[in-house]
Structure 1
Amino acid sequence: MTAGSAAATRPHNRRQIIVEAAGQVFSARGYHAASMEEIAAGVGISAAALYRHFPNKYALFAECANGMVDELVEVLDEWPAEAALRDVLLALVRVTVSHRTSGGLYRWEARYLERADRQVLRAKFGHVVERVTELVRREYPGPDERLRAVAALGAIGSITMHHTSIAQRRVEELLLTSALRVAATDPAAAARGTPPVELPAPPVPRTRRGEILAAAIPLFARDGFANVTNGQIAQAVGLAPSAIYRHYPGKVDILVAACLQAAALLAQAVDRTLHRVTDPREAVDALAAAYVAYCFEHNALTSVAEAEVAGLPDDLRRPLILAQREHIAVWEQQLRAVRPELDPRQARLLVHAAFGVVVEAGRALRWQDAPGRRDTVTALVTAALTL
């Protein structure tokens, strides 16, 4: 093959192809676990060819981080101020679905951006939130307008966080309906009658191993697992760094212990919640209340478990993924009992939408557990399930 024929077969949009492939790898594996070699292989080029487009992994990651939000901003700016909320949300749904396999990096991996890049990304998402808030305020005026807008976007963004296979048109219908219900809900009115929640008591570190775990969780949550050193963990406990290894073979074993603790606490919360319910609708309401309470109560632990699982080796991740699936199956079963028209995949998609509401609404509230906030978020969760 001549140089001219090779050039003729080279895609003109090679850079965009690289960005899309890299976004999928970063989303699935995490920024630190992903490699330029893996990304290059996914595109079908050599690592050397990849470096001709991007000088390093960070430069590629930073461009990936702006891909979906730039499209969201562009789509929003195409609609006039008087556009209907339904039309605008549908446009946002379609952009998000088109980035389904790469959009997951926004929720957790964007924290690895440098400060200036993170501020730019935050400003772009802020523009999206403010525009949707304006539409919510116009069509559904009332309390918590911005929170409802954020929660509706959380329901839409949830599609990037799971792999449930379902026809695209049905995905769009379900996400749009879920987001509209969230936007239209008056949390204060809907929250009346929220069932009481009895969470398991947080673990009390009674051993040095427990103290290490308790110290590591907030560090992982704040800085990301990859950025925390054993020395920092040891300092928080008052140990020499070498002493950590007497209790955990490595830092990853501390992370696994944190994820297992999160799964166990959530399973206990579900068991206590379902023990006293009498019908499926009550069960769904109770599951929503328990999950919201759990996320507020154990926010650092929950964020670590959700953000870091993807970067674990397959053998360590498998039991955690199984526990995740068992939890979702409980929701799915109860939701389908209330809404028998849903098939299992549709119910699963709505359950993930509800989880997306909790994450984004909780973040918007900075997880500050003021009176009534759990009830407000719970009301938005049940709205996402279109109940």
Structure 2
Amino acid sequence: MTTEPTAAVRPRNRRQLIVEAAGRVFSERGYHWTSMEEIAARVGITAAALYRHFPNKYALFAECTEIMADRLVAAVDEVPPAAPLADLLAALGRVTVAYRASGGVYRWEARYLHREDRRHLRAKFAHVVGRVEEAVGREHPLPPTGPPATGQPPAASRPLSLAHLRAVAALGAIGSITMHHTSIAARRAEELLSASAARVAATDPAAAPRGAARPVEPPAQPVPRTRRAQILAAAIPLFARDGFASVTNGQIAEAVGLAPSALYRHYPGKVDILAAACLQAAGVVTQGVDRGLRDIADPYDAVVALAATHVAYCFEHTALNSVAEAEVAGLPDDLRRPVVLAQREYIAVWEQQLRLVRAELDPRQARVLVHAGFGVAVEAGRGLRWRDTQEHRDVVTALVVGALGL
């Protein structure tokens, strides 16, 4: 007796499976480096089957960013309006850690959304930030008048609400888990990140941490004295503004007054310019560490110096930092390897000094907190629109130190 072969049954949640797989791939490789064929392979279907659900890559990308934002909105809306801040942060920590592999899709890649889609996304994030900001202001109000310890103008006269700044910085601590691959149990990650975010929310940004009085300056912008250096200097702001994949060789060549073909005398291809930018970023932070830790013996002072140096780097080299963070995933393995090694060495210095101060942390926990500090620096800097003043550097440094639990 023979039986007819059974036709494959299409899962009812195939669209959901596609979106989840796409979110992971977009987060890992970036929008422009991801193909529909790669996403289809992750789901275990053909590209043709994928196109039955989404007409093109952009439509799938837009839905991924929308769904991640919707999850965050749902998380805060499930928390009663008068609930403690800790409940809000715990809810956001749970959903962010649960979707860690796909959560990075909006942090850098959302810039590729069309204007209307970007507007919708911002409105949803504004709702999330607003809920956190209200709770921060309610539980950790700052004096509306009186000069802060560092001599800044009174809080009420500053253009940006300090409750808002602490809210976005706290969310930066939580969201940082999507930007690295440190292996840690989900529950432990939630606890670490929620506690870190709570400390950020409770920090008075005007109160400089002990040991922060020493002025810190990262290496200055290098003067491009060679044609190769001029090409690199011209390419970095273009990559930061438009994204690596959107910038053409013609744009880079025009910025330095060359014919596009002349670029190949100095770089084999555009991706080699990107690799040089990422290595330059690694070199700048390494020099900053050497300079910032010089003559410092106390571990607490060393961590504060690292925080101040990193913040100074973020403000001084905003475009370079953006390119190094957002575009490194697009490098081929042979070009990415030295960049990743340099980044790991940088984080290892932080991890070592932090564990000397907080001996209860194991290496993974310390690493997660270091990345939380980086997330705070990025989001607080964005909140301040990267306006580079000593006041802003001091404020962000205080928030980073708070995230680390010092």
TM normalised by structure 2 equals 0.93
1:6 is matched with 8
- For 1:285 and 1:242, the matched residues in 2 are separated by 47
Question: Residue in 2 aligned with 1:222?
Answer: 241
Tell me which residue corresponds to 2:188.
170
1:385 match: 404
How far apart, CA to CA, are the structure 1 residues paired with 2:217 and 2:383? 25
Alignment-derived partner of residue 161 in structure 1: 179
Contact 1:150–1:364, Cα closer than 8 Å, also in 2: yes
Shift of 1:2: 6.4
List aligned pairs for 1:47-86, cutoff 5 A.
47-86=47-86
Closer/same/farther in 2, CA of residues 139 and 236 from structure 1, 3 Å limit? same
> Which secondary structure state, in structure 2, belongs to the residue aligned with residue 75 of structure 1?
helix
Q: Which amino acid aligns with 1:113?
A: L
Which amino acid is the alignment partner of residue 170 of structure 1? R
Deviations 1:335-377 (A, max 9, x none): 0000111000000000000000001111111101134100000
- Percent identical among aligned pairs is 74
Q: 1:246 aligns with which of 255, 260, 265?
A: 265
DSSP-derived class of the 2:174 partner:
helix
State the partner residue of 1:196: 215
Task: Give the root-mean-square deviation of aligned CA atoms.
Answer: 1.3
Structure 2: stretches of 5+ with no match in the other structure: 143-154, 156-161
Instruction: Tell me if the contact between 2:236 and 2:277 (Cα under 8 Å) persists in the aligned partners.
Output: yes
Gaps of 5+ in 1: none
| Secondary structure at 1:373 match in 2 | helix
Number of residue pairs matched by the alignment: 385
1:351 is matched with 370
Q: Using the TM superposition, give the Cα deviation of residue 333 of structure 1 relative to its aligned residue in structure 2, in angstroms.
A: 0.2
Q: 1:370 and 1:191 mapped to 2: Cα distance?
A: 18
1:192 CA drift (Å): 6.3
Report if the CA contact (8 A) 1:191-1:376 is conserved. Answer: no
How far 1:383 sits from its partner (Å)?
0.4
- Cα deviation per residue 1:273-299 (whole Å; 9 max; x = unaligned)? 111211111100000000000110000
Retained in 2: the 8 A contact 1:31–1:109?
yes
Counterpart Cα distance in 2 of 1:2 and 1:340: 65
Distance 1:80 1:267 in 2: 45
TM-score calculated relative to the size of structure 1: 0.97
Q: Runs of 4 or more off by more than 4 Å in structure 1?
A: 1-5
CA contact (8 A) 1:65 1:106 kept: yes
Structure 1 residues 220-257: Cα deviation after superposition (integer angstroms, max 9, x where no partner):
00000000001111111111111111111111111111
What residue number does 1:231 align with?
Answer: 250
Q: Report deviation, 1:171.
A: 0.7
- In the alignment, what sits opposite 2:349? 330
Q: Is the 8 A contact 1:68 1:95 kept in 2?
A: no
- For 2:101, what is the secondary structure of its paired residue? coil
Equivalent residue letter for 2:348: A
Q: Distance in 2 between matches of 1:2 and 1:324?
A: 57
**Counterpart-to-counterpart distance in 2, 1:41 and 1:70:** 26
Which letter maps to 2:255?
A
1:188-209 Cα offsets, whole Å, 9 max, x none, are 1244651321322321100111
Give yes or no for contact 2:211–2:301 (8 Å, CA) kept in 1: no
Q: Which amino acid aligns with 2:350?
A: W
303, 317, 324: which one pairs with 2:322?
Answer: 303
Deviation at 1:163, TM superposition (A): 0.9
In structure 2, C-alpha distance between the alignment counterparts of 1:273 and 1:190, rounded to whole Å: 17
Distance in 2 between residues matched to 1:326 and 1:193, nearest whole Å:
24
Q: Distance in 1 between matches of 2:349 and 2:211?
A: 22
Report the Cα distance in structure 2 between the residues aligned to 1:206 and 1:377, rounded to whole angstroms. Answer: 33
The equivalent of 2:98 in structure 1 is 98
Structure having the larger proportion of residues in helix: 1
Tell me by how many angstroms 1:79 deviates. 2.0
TM-superposed deviation, 1:6: 2.2
State the alpha-carbon separation in 1 of the partners of residues 187 and 99 from structure 2: 15
Change (3 A) 1:98 1:215: same
Alignment match, 2:20 = 20
State the Cα distance separating 1:314 from its structure 2 match. Answer: 0.9
